[in-house]
Structure 1
Amino acid sequence: MTTLADLPIRDDLRGQSPYGAPQLHVPVALNVNENTHGLPDDVIDDIVGALAAAVRGANRYPDREFTALREALAGYLGDAVRPENIWAANGSNEVLQQLLQAFGGPGRSLLGFSPTYSMYPLLALGTGTEWVSASRAEGFVLTADRAAEQVRQARPDIVILCAPNNPTGTPLDLDVVTAVYDATDGVVIVDEAYAEFMPAGTPSAVTLLEGRERLAVSRTMSKAFAFAGVRLGYLAADPALIDALRLVRLPYHLSALTQAAACAALRHADEMLAMVGEIAAQRDRIITQLTRMGFHPYPSGSNFVLFGGVAEPRAVFDALLAQGILIRDQSIPGHLRVTAGTEAETTAFLNAMEPFAPAGE
């Protein structure tokens, strides 16, 4: 039987592993930061109606510039952006891939601050871009001075800042973004996939776009909008930067069905985001209860919690899985990560963690 090793694959891809978060059918899946709350019925009805209308025109190619969706996304982000500042694709990973296709590639580099989202180095690899791993301070914090100094030393073509950071949940102050931007002539990407879970009133990097033509702020509808299965990511940037993405996108890359579903969901943004407060409450409950047990959860501005103090992470992971509870082993020694789910899911996780509490040893 032919194997991958028998094929003339690129040399730099040999021996690599694809992104592979487990997709297991378990009662409590808290491993990939999905929104575990279902869509409200009235939102579902509106989306189904929009899809039915879109299907009637499915014999024609979709609007290549996804005009209605760009207008809806600009309206959602607020006064800091206009439709011409918006780009969208099939999930924020495709948005990031397109940025690397346009501004990365052979002979160019992407710098990120580890530990961070595991797809960043994989996207770099897939586009022939060198991955440069910079470091964080104790507690996974990233300060403006530390970040800017590492950027000046490495001189990357692209810098990516995860805000809040995945897998640690660490919030990112906007002064880090401005310091990094001033320290490089390259493109700066701020990945705000979990921005809606930050405290109300927290400013977005979108507010920094004016006068910064090399800044791109990436978002997704997968998390707060409970739209992971739809695959809709987007970014806000200077129109000139978006012109660069048109050079690398596939023709008609965003289907008419995706556009219709996303526009329908955005019409219900307030209702959809009402779930965010419930999820944040469960996240804070996890932090409180894990602290009580003697674990070390880190501050989180996202819908998940990274916690340390786990003597045997793999053993705990397996024990929880045996009970139908799936969390995430990020290969950070002594640590595990859990998504904040519904109240019932969170309760199941916390009860399962009690026997492993360091305070009980």
Structure 2
Amino acid sequence: MQIVENKDKFREALLSWYLREKRDLPWRNTSNPYYIWVSEIMLQQTRVDTVIPYYERFIARFPTMESLVEADESDLLKMWEGLGYYSRVRNLQSGVKEVVENYGSEVPASRKEISELKGIGPYTAGAILSIAFGLPEHAVDGNVMRVISRLLLIDDDIAIPRTKRIFENVIMDLIDQEDPSSFNQGLMELGATICTPKPKCLLCPVREFCLAFNEGRQEEFPVKTKKVKMKVVPVASFAMRNEKNEWLLRKRSEKGLLANLWEFPMIELASLQTPKELARVECDIELTELLSFKHVFSHLTWDLTCYTGLIQGDHKIPDGYHFFSNKEVEELPKPVPVLKIWDEVKQQLTGNDGK
């Protein structure tokens, strides 16, 4: 049984399953377009379980668009701390500011106008329009492309941006006109919980319509070319404290990677000399290795090793660096790799002295 011949039955099967089985997520209990906007931005490149507490804290702190517009960047980054991809929250604030100033705090309900807002692409626009306003607009993300590619045996490469148009056209042909919100969310939910990279086909409510399932080819879809091998950069970080038990950190540049977030001294390793040798020769500081891990960005990976050490006496502190107490470090907005280092530091301090 194919979708193209049984659109009504397909919609009925998908919607009845979604309304019966959907997860209870906080952003599904509102039609406020601002709240849905926040949730969609948070959900980009982040797992649902991770987003829930962030979303609830964020909405509690910035319950209106006006409160978000007035927020200080440091406060904003602190609320986003740990979610990564910090340009998302900066763009969110900019886009919301446009709505407050140009649309009287009313999120526009047309694809043309909403797509002109900072940080809103085709998927986010469609999600807000269909979920908040009940408009039959496509909202095609990776989950939806995986579902539709299997249902219709679409073998176009989803790594090519123009391929998304094919899926958008399919959705506009299939979408339920009476409940586009549940239809779009049903496809997303199906892709997130059942039609996963390793599909659970026996649990699928629409498998009778799935051409890939009928041919036993579901794991061949979607077709996606492999990414170019990511650049790996060896990095050393230094969690250094002075004799007052204050920690040395600096604020990163206003532009570029992890802009305006705070970090321990950090260097990219371009020579064979080890960080411990550098510190001993240049600063007369003995270092102890704290932890090693990899942190993956969208375009590169940090192969990061962190060291800890005590700065004794009167060492000259480089420009831009400052000492902070434990409490002050807690309050600074920090990127994910620095959070990981700081958590390890705190565990060691607790283990060593119980403080």
Q: How high is the TM-score relative to the length of structure 1?
A: 0.29
Higher helix share: 2
Higher relative contact order (CA 8 A, sep 6+): 1
Q: How high is the TM-score relative to the length of structure 2?
A: 0.29
Larger Rg, first or second structure (1 or 2) = 2
